[in-house]
Copies of this chain bind each other. A is one copy, B any other.
Amino acid sequence: MIMAKLCIVLILIIVSTNVMADKRSVAIVIHGGAGTIVKEKMTASIESEYRQALTDAVKAGYKVLQTGGDSTQAVIAAITLMEDSPLFNAGKGSVFTHDGKNEMDASIMEGNHLEAGSVAGVSRIKNPIQLAYRIMQNSPHVILAGKGAERFAAQENIEFVDPAYFYTERRWQQLQKLLLEDAQSGKAGDQKSNYKNRHSTRLSEDAGDGFDDHKFGTVGAVALDQYGHIAAGTSTGGMTNKRFGRVGDSPIIGAGTYADDESCGISATGHGEYFIRAVVAHDICARVRYKGISLQRGADEVIMDKLVKMRGEGGVIGIDPQGNVVFSFNTKGMYRAAIDVTGTLTVAIFK
């Protein structure tokens, strides 16, 4: 009789533990780029457009999590919506290279087995984040680049679009403005002298519409699902006027994207070169894991201290295994949104 009671208690404990496990908290955080985004220069209607787009994207990802989907699918859902919006520098809204083309990068990582997929320099893929996912799932590789990546995409029945799909008047004018400035200052063309300095200067200028500076435009999402798995993804059109097959941090696992269920998931946006050199995403998670500090502190150490000393501008979003959502950025603004473990929605743009 005592044995039977004990047995029932044990079964109840096991069942309730499983139910609790099934009801584990979920959370998602997204960004749409960081830069010199200031309220004074933005009209109410444009601000409203961005807020709506961020809200739609974060809710799309959250819906996946609420209906039992995993963090990877939540990340893809949120990023796909942002790639399809002309507002963000990724997918449809990608900026133009020096040669007047659109070259996109994206990456995704799963924190449970440290699986990752990444694509660099594609021009005809509607949703680069979906190609990054397919590379992770269906190829033995992590990073595929350029025409080769597009050949793989064709085999995988990934959606292709005509390069004209990525034409937006706003991005085209941003490029023309930079090219004109180059021509006027006599620095255009193939002159190699001062190339480094010229571009260093250029990068600190506003190439945007006044209200935001899309040189650091990128979109990203990080999610924690009910199974305790973290996924992170990032997608970008790169830098306006970029040349020479430049690759930024977005497709670099460890720099623009990183996820490890044991520490954290991170998606970054900023001046990619600095984010690569500082191995931003992995360094934040390494500090959390090896130093035992909070994710917010780890993110702030890297973004507000290490990167500031290196003079690298940008920001990150992140989630830890407990579902804590963090933002950290050293620019004037970052397009961002989150739905935390309590279900609370946050949408913000300015500091």
Chain A residues with a Cβ under 8 A of chain B: 109, 113-116, 120-121, 137-149, 151-152, 155-156, 190, 192, 195-196, 199-200, 203, 243-248, 252-255, 258, 272-273, 276-279, 282-283, 286-287, 290-291, 310
Contact = CB atoms under 8 A, between A and B. Distances in A.
A244 B143 contact: no
A137 B196 CA distance: 8
Contact of A245 (B146, B192, B244, B248): B146
A121 B143 CA distance: 12
A241 to B, nearest CB: 11
A200 B138 CA distance: 11
Contacts of A255: 253-254
Number of chain copies forming the complex: 2
A246 B286 contact: no
Contacts of A148: 243-246
B116 A276 contact: yes
Contact of A290 (B200, B246, B291): B291
A200 B139 CA distance: 9
B310 A114 contact: yes
A113 B274 CA distance: 11
Contacts of A283: 282, 286
Contacts of A147: 245
A244 B115 contact: no
Contact of A195 (B140, B196, B248, B279): B140
A223 to B, nearest CB: 19
Contacts of A142: 247, 272-273, 276-277
A342 to B, nearest CB: 31
Contacts of A310: 113-114
A31 B258 CA distance: 28
A193 to B, nearest CB: 10
Contacts of A113: 310
A277 to B, nearest CB: 5
Contact of A252 (B139, B243, B252, B272): B252
